Structure formats: structure tokens, C-alpha cells
Amino acid sequence: MAQIGLIGLGTMGAALALNIADKGFSIAVFNRTGSVTTDFHAGAGALAPRITPTQTLADFVAAITPPRAIILMVPAGPVVDDQIAALRPLLGKDDLIIDAGNAEFHDTERRAKDAEGAGVPFIGMGVSGGEEGARHGPSIMGGGPRAAWDRVSPILSAIAAQYDGTPCATWMGPGGAGHFVKTVHNGIEYADMQMIAEVYGIMRDGLAMPATAIAPVFDGWNKGVLRSYLIEISAAVSAATDPVTGKAMLDVILDAAGQKGTGRWTAIEAQHLAAPVPVIEAAVAARNVSSRLHARVAGQGVYRAAPQAMAAGALTVADLEGALIAGKILCYAQGFDMLNAASKTFGWGVPLPEVARVWRAGCIIRSDMLNDMAAALTEDVSRNLMLAPAFVTHLQRTHTALRRVVAAAVLAGHAVPALSAGLAWFDMMRTARGTANMIQAQRDFFGAHGFERVDGQPGKHGPWGAHG
Ligand code: 6PG
């Protein structure tokens, strides 16, 4: 009998099943299209004896030792509901369903409530790391009943990525907490990628560097403060050559980016929570703008204003590195602040230092900096990261580079929406007296909404005549 089951042998599900078998666990697998299961098992090589392929749901359930744990790795959305509905009648009271797809956390909350109502356990689990991570060690963010998590955590910890011997698999809280943390991970992923794309654009168009010259720059950055998976792969994709044309691979890829929606969900939830994440919002918007290809081509025709080359010495590669360091810190400061807001609003008690810890390895946004973030959040969990001494030092050293880069980019017609959103947020967050007094006066003028005074004097309306 198998120790665990998995439904859905697409790219991620197949990789996760092999990972589980590789770590010494026996696993039953099922896929809606039976031939996929047969082929998967036939291709499992030395791991095949630990894998039980099944062709019906009933056989699948019967192949797993009760109380069962069943991982769903099927497309997010109605397919998950259909799969749960098909499974539940075959399961016992203590059998646990784990949705490991990229679910929208409201769906997970609903499924968790349904499961609670029926007295059966359900876990919503974020899994990051792409196919490679799923196969050899992803980062895992779980949510649901603590007792259910504890039951499966030995298997999940064994298959997760390890950072200095610590498994990157943690319980983030009840209900949809795990999928929420994964959603914010993806929002940050969008932002990290967008900021890298922005400095790449400055190197390509502003400093006239070919992709072959850009690759070693990313490589160099990957040995310093910015060391991370996304910088590493940016070096790799910059160095690659197109086998068809012999040109740099980057130069033959259309600049219109797709998305499956998790970044967008982060931006939407941030608005609901009134938690500002402008760098992520800018990154989501930039993807949407990128896909307006025809309008952009027409726009360039009308305004004849492609990004211009920058004067020699206007910016250095070191400026770009500094800008990226500052932008990254500001983006994560926003992301963790949003997680904190969500955790309070939903009463989840998300362990923020643990979030930083499980993101240190296995996931797409893994980076050295996350280790320092974990330390800063351990010192003071509710302090904004931009105020943590380690990051104050970084920001004091790099924020002028961010300003120089944004200013030079804007003057030369380069779009840097994420970097400039980070800078604007930074400037607002270090300004004790901003300009919302004007907003308050306007609101009071047209709607008698009232305001607070700075001097403690009586009165909360202005002398606006008929409106006062
Ligand atoms: C991960 C990724 C993954 C995501 C892809 C594509 O953590 O492994 O976040 O879950 O699905 O990165 O996302 P988009 O298609 O939205 O870019």
C-alpha cells in the first residue's frame, strides 16, 4: 500500500511524484487520461517499484494506506472542485486532500470551509520552483488545519528544498494562508523579473550593450548582494544563442509577456487590504502593457520616440546594480507588509520570518537577501523592512543610484515603471509631512468629509463658505 497519493501527472505533478518516490516514499498516482499514467510509470526507471499506477479513482484510493493523504496537482479553478467532488465519496473521514496547484486563495478558503463543515481535513498548499524544483526540492507553503499539516509534514519536509539543512516547507496558517503566501510570492516574482527587465533594457538600448556583454554583468551581480536564481537565469538567457538564426536568443523573442494571473491576484488583494505594493502593481501593469503590441508599434510610429542611447558616463553598470538592490529591498518591504496586513485581517497568524525562510531555497524568488530578511523579521516582525538596520545600510548606500537610474531613464525615454514605483514609495515613506492635507481639504470642501488638524485646535472642517 502506498504512503501517499497524487492526482494529476502534468509537468509539475509528474515531477513531484518522482521527487516523492525518490525520497523513499511509496506513492499511488492517477491521471484523468489513463495512458499518461501508464507512460509515466513506464518512464520512471529505478523509481517505478515505489510507484503504483492506477486507472480508476476507486483503485487509486484503494491503493493508499488510510488515513490517506492525496495531493491534487490539477489546473487551478473548477477542475479542483470537480476532483474533490469525485474523490470525497470514496474517502474516509480522516482522509486528507491537499490542493498543491496555484489556487486563488478565496477558492481555498471556500474549500477549507466546506471541508470543515463536512468534518474532513483539507490543505491548500503553494508549491514553487517550477519543474526542476518540484522534481528535486520545491519551496512549500502550507495552509489548513495544523494537525493535518503535521501529519504530512514529514513527507513534505523530505521532498522540499533544504537551506543549510532546514527544509523549505512550512505551515503558514489556517484556511487559505498557504495559497495566499504563494500568491504574494508570485507577485514579488513578477516585480523581481520586471525590475531585471528594466535594467536589461537600459543596458541594451541606453548603453548599447549586446546581449553577450549583458550576460557577464548579470553573472557578476550574481556573485554579490543580488545573488539569486532570477539573476542567475538572466545571465543564462542573455548568453544563449538562437540555434535557428545564430543571433542572441533574447533578440529573437517577442517582447509581449503572458501571465496566468497570480501576480494580478496579488495586486487585486493588495487593493482590498489597502496594503500598498506599487512595485508589484507596476510589474503586473507592465506585463499587460507589453501585450498591447500593435498599439505600441503604432505609438512608436506616431511619436518617433524609442528609448534613446544615453550619453557616455550617464550611468554605470554599478549604478544599475545599486538601483536593483534598492528596488528589490523596497519591493520585498512592500510584499511583507502586505502579508502582515493580510495575516491580521484574516486572523491567520502567518509567521513572517518563516515565510522569508522557506523562500530562501527551492522557489523562483530564492536569493541570499532573503536570509537577511528572515533575520530582520525575527528581530521585529511588524517593523517595515526598510527600517531594519541591515536594510537601512543597503538603502543608504544604493538609493541615490536608484534615483540616478530612474532620472536618466526617464530623460532618455526608457520606461522603468517598477523601479520608479519603488523610488516614489521610498520617497513617500521617508517624508513625515506629505501632501495628503490637500486631498483632505478637497474632500472636506466637496463632501464635508472632515479632517484632523496638526495643532490639536478644535474643528474638523474648513472655512469653505457654503461647504464649510
Ligand atoms: C513558481 C512559479 C509558478 C508560476 C510560473 C508562471 O513559483 O514556481 O511562480 O508557480 O506558475 O512562474 O507564472 P505566470 O505565467 O503568471 O508568469
DSSP 284-334: HHHHHHHT-HHHHHHHHHHH--PPPPPPTTSS-HHHHHHHHHHHHHHHHHH
Kindly state the cell numbers that stand for 291. Answer: 501585450
Kindly state the cell numbers that stand for 242. Answer: 538562437
pLDDT bucket at 448, cuts 50 / 70 / 90: very high
pLDDT at 56: 98
Whether 129 is in the pocket of ligand 1, judged by its Cβ within 6 Å, is: yes
Whether 230 is in the pocket of ligand 1, judged by its Cβ within 6 Å, is: no
For residue 279, pLDDT over 80 is answered with yes
Percent of the chain residues topping a pLDDT of 70: 99
Number of helical H runs and strand E runs in the chain: 19, 10
Q: Which CATH class is domain 4-174?
A: alpha beta
pLDDT in tens, 80-107: 999 999 999 999 999 999 999 999 999 9
pLDDT in tens, 337-361: 999 999 999 999 999 999 999 999 9
In the 3-class helix/strand/coil scheme, how is 149-202 assigned residue by residue? HHHHHHHHHHHCCEECCEECEEECCCCCHHHHHHHHHHHHHHHHHHHHHHHHHH
> Taken in order 326, 162, 237, 290, is the CA torsion positive or negative?
negative
| Probe target for ligand 1 pocket from 125, 132, 185, 186, with the most ligand atoms within 8 Å of CB | 186
For residue 467, pLDDT over 80 is answered with no
pLDDT at 437: 98
pLDDT at 355: 98
Percent of the chain residues topping a pLDDT of 90: 97
Classified as helix, coil or strand, 248 is strand
Q: How far apart are CA 342 and CA 277, in angstroms?
A: 13
CA 189 to ligand 1 center in whole angstroms: 8
Report the CATH architecture of 183-429.
Answer: Orthogonal Bundle (1.10)
For ligand 1, atom 17, name the residue with the nearest CA: 259
Whether 257 is in the pocket of ligand 1, judged by its Cβ within 6 Å, is: no
Whether 194 is in the pocket of ligand 1, judged by its Cβ within 6 Å, is: no
CA 186 to ligand 1 center in whole angstroms: 6
For residue 389, pLDDT over 60 is answered with yes
Query: Which atom of ligand 1 is the closest one to the Cα of 260?
Result: 16
| Probe target for ligand 1 pocket from 73, 102, 125, 355, with the most ligand atoms within 8 Å of CB | 102
Domain 183-429 shares a fold with domain 436-467: no
pLDDT bucket at 306, cuts 50 / 70 / 90: confident
For residue 466, pLDDT over 90 is answered with no
pLDDT in tens, 41-84: 999 999 999 999 999 999 999 999 999 999 999 999 999 999 99
Q: What are phi and psi of 356, to 5 degrees?
A: -60, -40
For residue 468, pLDDT over 60 is answered with no
For residue 374, pLDDT over 60 is answered with yes
For domain 436-467, the question of CATH label 3.40.50.9100 is answered with: no
pLDDT bucket at 313, cuts 50 / 70 / 90: confident
Residue extents of the structural domains in the chain: 4-174, 183-429, 436-467
Kindly state the cell numbers that stand for 380. Answer: 521585529
pLDDT bucket at 413, cuts 50 / 70 / 90: very high
Q: How far apart are CA 126 and CA 103, in angstroms?
A: 8
What is the overall mean pLDDT for the chain? 97
Residues classed as catalytic: 182, 189
